[in-house]
Amino acid sequence: METTPVGTPRVVDDTVLSYFVKDDMLWVGAWDTQNGHERWRALAHPGWFAGGITRSVDLVETQGTSVVAHFAPSSNERILEFHLRDPRTGEALDFGIQGIRSMALPKECDQPDGGVCIFGSTLELNGNSHDIVRFDLETRETSIVDPPENQAPATSFTESLSWEGGETVADDVLVFRDGKTELWRRSFSDVFGSGYSPRAGWEWSERDGMVIGTGAYWGDNPDEAHSSVRSLEEAATVALDAETGNTLWKVEAATTCQSSAPLRTKNDLLTLCRIFSGEAHLMETDDDEYRIENLDAELIAVDRVTGEVEWSRPLLADESSIVAEDKSFAPPTTHGALRQVGGEIDLVDFESGDAVRLPNSTVLACEFSRQIASPETFSAFDYFSAGDAARACSPDGREVSRWSEGAVQLAGTRANGDVWVVSESDGLVGFVIDHPATEPAAAE
């Protein structure tokens, strides 16, 4: 597959799904997990005002089936095509809708009968008015759904937590619901501080009666927030009580160690990066670059119940560091995290904080962020985030040609049976591991 994958592969039974760029166009496609043969492809679009396709294909499970939901360019610059497809065959379900205007992502409807819902407008149903549009997969009918009283359009963070955006940063609100019942709502700036907003990125998890999330400074005026330089230490991680919304603890200047990394826990320890100083620079060139400079940071383990920092390890960011080169503070692993120490790498155990020096023969899974110049059809974008790709590397950050089984399990997505799919910089690669480890080591 001579393409550039975008986002993280999604696996359904014997099919792997992914966005990809080919011939300067964005596509969504499917491949057989056993032999890599392409099953189908279709033109796609990241969505208006979207921050990029950073994760995986939107797969909505509802009414006893699964459908791939995606946007596509249309002949009308003001609207996008919206398609629901069979994951295995790519067959599009016909709803008689020519196009949609939406800044939201599709999800399963809250109604008892299910279906696919998206907040937007269509010429066929509601003209220029924005409403919740429901697609019934069983009847192939579309309808306008009345939202619950006083419920504004929201972006979901977790199954229960969502963000309702306002006209200004001060209007951004976190809302927590138990099913359809709203339990609490809090201003984002009240939780994190003035000028903080989900518009600057987020990561949230929900577990054992706690909601833990990250926030970053965006600026009081969103129109002036798209600066080419952003201070990295203006961030925080908080824990909220799921029943009341009250703040349980807060760690200033702490965030996830990659811009799109999940909140990683081992037992009851949360691994984060605490930033003392550093800037993120967006270089306005033909091929827009994003780099981190003057980084002074440490890897910390936070007790997810109390918020206490259990241990810390410095992270270096000189020119030869994996940290700086890969635009990530520390490549993620199951057992620990990597840091640069005098040109060498240590493996840090997340639970104890103990470090072990790795020999140069070790094969690791290194992640690096991708940003792809927008094809001509994306007139609203100069570039968009393309998620993380993986590569096999040595402890000093050099790319190696051979993967280890442990590195494949760390970087890959498990398909059916013993097949693992890794998203490399130039394509999807399938590996067969006969006896996968239950806790794969970062190195072999």
- What are the residue boundaries of the structural domains of the chain, listed by start? 4-145, 161-358
- Predicted pLDDT at 62: 93
pLDDT at 325: 34
Question: 3-state SS string over the chain?
Answer: CCCEEEEEEEEECCEEEEEEEECCEEEEEEEECCCCCEEEEEECECCCCCCECCCCCEEEEECCEEEEEEEECCCCCCCEEEEEECCCCCCECCCCCCCEECCCCCEECCCCCCCEEEEEECCCCCCCCCEEEEEECCCCEEEEECCCCCCCCCEECCCCEEEECCCCHHHCEEEEEECCEEEEEEEHHHHHCCCEEHHHCCEEEEECCEEEEEEEECCCCHHHCCCCEEECCCEEEEEEECCCCCEEEEEECEECCCCCCCCCEECCEEEEEEEEEEEEEEECCCCCEEEEEEEEEEEEEEECCCCCEEEEEEECCCCCCHHHHCCCCCCECCCEEEEEECCEEEEEECCCCCEEECCCCCCEEEEEEEEEECCCCCCCCCEEEEEEEEEEECCCCCECCCCCHHHHHHHCEECCCCEEEEEECCEEEEEECCCCCCCCCCCC
Quick one: fold of 4-145? Lipocalin (2.40.128)
* Residue 269 confidence (pLDDT): 84
pLDDT for position 424: 83
Answer yes or no: are the C-beta atoms of 214 and 158 closer than 8 Å: no
Q: Is the dihedral of CA 122, 89, 44, 198 positive or negative?
A: positive
pLDDT in tens, the chain (444 residues): 557 887 778 889 899 999 888 887 889 999 999 999 999 999 988 766 444 444 568 888 999 999 999 888 888 777 888 899 999 999 999 998 878 877 667 888 878 889 998 877 787 776 666 678 899 999 999 888 875 544 555 566 777 888 887 777 888 899 998 876 889 999 999 999 998 888 776 778 888 899 999 888 877 554 444 446 777 788 899 999 999 999 999 999 998 765 434 455 556 888 888 888 887 765 554 444 556 677 788 888 899 999 999 988 877 654 333 333 333 333 444 445 455 555 566 677 777 878 777 777 777 777 665 555 544 444 333 444 445 667 787 776 678 888 888 778 777 888 877 888 888 877 888 999 887 765 444 444
How many Cα atoms within 13 Å fall on the side-chain side of residue 305?
4
Q: Which residues are paired to 390 by β-bridges?
A: 367
In the chain, the amino acid numbered 287 is D
Domain 161-358: CATH class, spelled out? mainly beta
Q: Do domains 4-145 and 161-358 have the same CATH topology?
A: yes
Please name which of 185, 183, 189, 180 lies closest in space to residue 111, comparing C-alpha atoms: 180
